[in-house]
Amino acid sequence: MSRTDGPSRLLNRVAVVTGGMSGLGAASAARLSSDGVRVLTLDLAPGADFRVDVSDSAAVAAAAAAIGPIDILVNSAGIIGPNKPLWQISDAEWAETFAVNVVGTFTLCRAFVPGMRERGWGRIVNFASIAGNDGNPNLSAYSATKAAVIALTKSLGKELATSGVLVNAIAPAVIETPMNEKTSPEVLAYITSLIPMKRVGRADEVAELVAWLASDRLSFSTGAVYDISGGRATY
């Protein structure tokens, strides 16, 4: 069975991908589209279907009302936050990182979960990071937000476990994306050195995992965290 003849096309499913104009979001959107899913992108970047700041709960609610029911939610929008020791981080830098990475994930889930529950089917994929498990030095704000996304995913997965709505997270190691271009070279070199495969990942490799987690092929997993780390994950 080809991608375009799969169950997603037959059921005419609709997905929302946040951060869908670049990096992992763009790769996820393209991969889902290849399965016949109708993809709507939420991003602040030009060209997005909906120009939305995911940290703005009112804007998210308005976008969700305009979009209507969806089947798949991919929470990819995120920022790397400050690259510095914890004691040098300002209140504003800490708050902004949490606003985008955690509040954004929360508000999108809150907006679209009720409709999924009503229809008895849904797939939510939240982007966490291996930093949420390991903690990366000089990225304490980012690491803390991704730990929060992992905990949110586990809680929501349990809450929806018998509803037909499955919620899982992906925890990548370093992936070649525009967001990581903003990571300081020293930090990037260090976290890349931790990967046994001795290379960074590609966005299309992660998108393959997204496609599975967003499909009917996923049936007995919820509240789980899927590492895609080139062997870095050892826990």
95-129 pLDDT, tens digit per residue, is 999 999 999 999 999 999 999 999 999 999 999 99
HSE-CB at 165 with a 13 A cutoff on CA atoms is 26
34-54 confidence digits (pLDDT tens):
999 999 999 999 999 999 999
pLDDT over 70 (residue 154): yes
- Report strand pairing: 122-127 vs 224-228: unpaired
Q: Which helix (H) or strand (E) holds 18?
A: strand 14-18
Instruction: Report the C-alpha gap between 32 and 30 in whole angstroms.
Output: 6
Phi, psi torsion values for 16, nearest 5 degrees: -110, 130
Examine the pLDDT at 4 and tell me if it is beyond 50. Answer: no
Confirm if 43 and 60 have CB atoms less than 8 A apart.
Answer: no
Q: Measured on CA atoms in the order 186, 26, 19, 7, is the torsion positive or negative?
A: negative
> Above 60 in pLDDT, residue 2?
no
Q: Is 88 helix (H, G, I), strand (E, B) or coil?
A: helix
Tokens standing for residue 132: 């949420």
Cβ contact 206:226 at 8 Å = no
Per-residue pLDDT at 60 exceeds 90: yes
Q: What is the rounded average pLDDT of the residues 128-146? A: 95
**What is residue 234's predicted lDDT score, i.e. its pLDDT?**
65
DSSP string computed for 153-181: HHHHHHHTTTTTEEEEEEEESSB-SGGGG
pLDDT at 67 over 50: yes
Catalytic residue among 142, 190, 226, 235: 142
Inform me whether the pLDDT recorded for 174 exceeds 90. no
Quote the pLDDT of residue 14: 98
The helix (H) or strand (E) run that includes residue 226 is strand 224-228
**Is 142 among the catalytic positions?**
yes
Query: What is the band of 177 on the pLDDT scale with cuts at 50, 70, 90?
Result: confident
- What would the pLDDT profile of 78-96 be if each residue is shown by its tens digit? 999 999 999 999 999 999 9
Ordered by where they begin, the domains of the chain are 3-228 (3.40.50.720)
Tell me the percentage of the chain whose pLDDT exceeds 90: 77
